[in-house]
Structure 1
Amino acid sequence: RFMENNILNEMDRVDPNLRDEILAELFLNKMMDNLKRSKVLEKIDQSLKNKDKEAFLRLTEELKSVS
């Protein structure tokens, strides 16, 4: 939380138009990361249902990169 507060305090010093653009980009990036994470979790669930150990191991590694 400290880092988030520090970033927000620094954002007050940035030009309002640029600040809005930066915040929108951060928001979109976070949403895309959440979507990717959800998709990988769905695939992990499917690999468990299919008892596909190789896919499960590959997907859990992939999950680490999107978490």
Structure 2
Amino acid sequence: MEKKLLNSPQHEVNAMDSLFAEMVLDKALFDFRKEKIQQKIDQSLQNRNKKEFLRLTEELKKIS
């Protein structure tokens, strides 16, 4: 039976894989949110809704 130690290279690889996967998911979520806000900004411009435009641009600034 194979023993796995906590500090083994395999454990380090798994931790790095998990960290990398988390970073990829965070980036994908950020890009999705940013795109949705930008679409809403475009819509507010088309609708000439200044209040909504200003709110959304502030929201976009906060996440960027």
Is the shorter-chain TM-score for this pair beyond 0.5, marking a shared fold? Answer: yes
Corresponding residue pairs, total: 54
Q: 2:63 aligns with which of 31, 45, 66?
A: 66
Could you tell me how far apart the structure 2 residues matched to 1:37 and 1:57 are?
15
Equivalent pairs: percent with the same residue?
Answer: 46
Which of these two proteins has the greater Rg computed from alpha carbons?
2
For residues 12-50 of structure 1, the C-alpha deviation after alignment (integer angstroms, 9 at most, x for no partner) is xx8100000000000000000000000000000000000
Which is helix-richer, 1 or 2?
1
Gaps of 5+ in 1: 1-13
RMSD, matched Cα: 1.2
Q: TM-score scaled to structure 2, two decimals?
A: 0.81
Question: Runs in 1 of length 4+ with deviation above 4 angstroms?
Answer: none
